Amino acid sequence: MSYLAPDRPRVFGHRGAAALAPENTLPSFAVASQLGAHYLELDVHGTADGTIVVLHDESVDRTTESTGPVRAMRWSEVERLDAGYRYSPDGSSYPYRAQGVRIPTLEAVLRAFPNHRFNIEIKQGEPSIVDETVAILRNAGRAQKTLLAAEKGSIMERIRDAVGDEIVTGSSTDDVLEFFNRLEAGTLAGYRPPGVALQIPPQVGDRVLVEPRSLTAAHDLGVEVHVWTINDRAEIDRLLALGVDGIMSDAPGLISAAIAR
């Protein structure tokens, strides 16, 4: 099954179900799956000895009991950390603390969810982990069920050089800016977007990004529009009514329920 299967709108679990369980962990992805997310969004970094781990930040400070950049740690250090340590649904209780929740490797997540498609953002620029990440996807047979994303243009260039047409990509910040600048200038004719999807917030500052004109322009170019990170029921309903192709949420059950309605 290819990444861009016909099941739209697409329900993305953002870092799994980050509002309901410790983000980017196996329990979080399991909750997202139970709530109807067939697309699991996650982020990757590399350890000092080359293990690709699922983690949003460059350091472990925000999510674990420890501190420091993950790229300076060996996997043997990282795998002992409590990835549920700081998660709290209410700011006072810590239901996942000391429950054996760990920072997972990318390989472990792929093994645990063989029927899901993945939206993987490569966060680390230096040293590059693009080749290692792509090798894991190939070895796991998941290249056709993954979209690779990167905010930074330099990382996205490395990704596209490494994968060619084998793995689809999203849009870097540079790609998004080019699309919207061309849209405003009326120069989209003949433009070939480098990614298969614009993954964007509804607006940035006063600039509305997701509206009928931009959706029509993207669809005319064969590009999907995935909107992040939406945790409000009314906003999800509004975006679905506009015709977006997918929504990322920390509580993906909200999207599933909206689609059912």
* Average pLDDT, rounded, for the chain: 97
Longest dimension (CA), the chain: 56
Q: How confident is the model at residue 1 (pLDDT cuts 50, 70, 90)?
A: very low
Q: What is the pTM assigned to this prediction? A: 0.96
Mean pLDDT of 156-172: 97
Task: In whole angstroms, give the CA distance from residue 29 to residue 17.
Answer: 6
Q: What is the pLDDT of residue 89?
A: 95
Task: In whole angstroms, give the CA distance from residue 47 to residue 180.
Answer: 36
Q: Which helix (H) or strand (E) holds 161?
A: helix 153-163
Are 155 and 125 in contact, with CB atoms under 8 Å apart? Answer: yes
pLDDT at residue 5 above 90?
Answer: no
pLDDT at residue 2 above 80?
Answer: no
pLDDT at residue 193 above 60?
Answer: yes
Q: How confident is the model at residue 10 (pLDDT cuts 50, 70, 90)?
A: very high
Q: What is the pLDDT of residue 105?
A: 98
Sign (positive or negative) of CA dihedral 133, 134, 137, 140: negative
Q: How confident is the model at residue 26 (pLDDT cuts 50, 70, 90)?
A: very high
Instruction: Give the tokens for residue 154.
Output: 């330099």
pLDDT at residue 47 above 50?
Answer: yes
Q: How confident is the model at residue 239 (pLDDT cuts 50, 70, 90)?
A: very high
Q: What is the pLDDT of residue 8?
A: 84
> pLDDT tens across 179-188, in order?
999 999 999 9
CA angle 168, 174, 180 (to 5 degrees): 95
Burial class (CB in 10 A: 0-12, 13-18, 19+), 115: exposed
Q: What is the pLDDT of residue 76?
A: 98
- Nearby residues of 58 by Cβ (< 8 Å), 6 or more positions away: 45, 69, 70, 71, 123, 124
- Above pLDDT 70, what percent of the chain? 100
Are 151 and 172 in contact, with CB atoms under 8 Å apart? Answer: yes
> pLDDT tens across 210-220, in order?
999 999 999 99
Q: How confident is the model at residue 225 (pLDDT cuts 50, 70, 90)?
A: very high
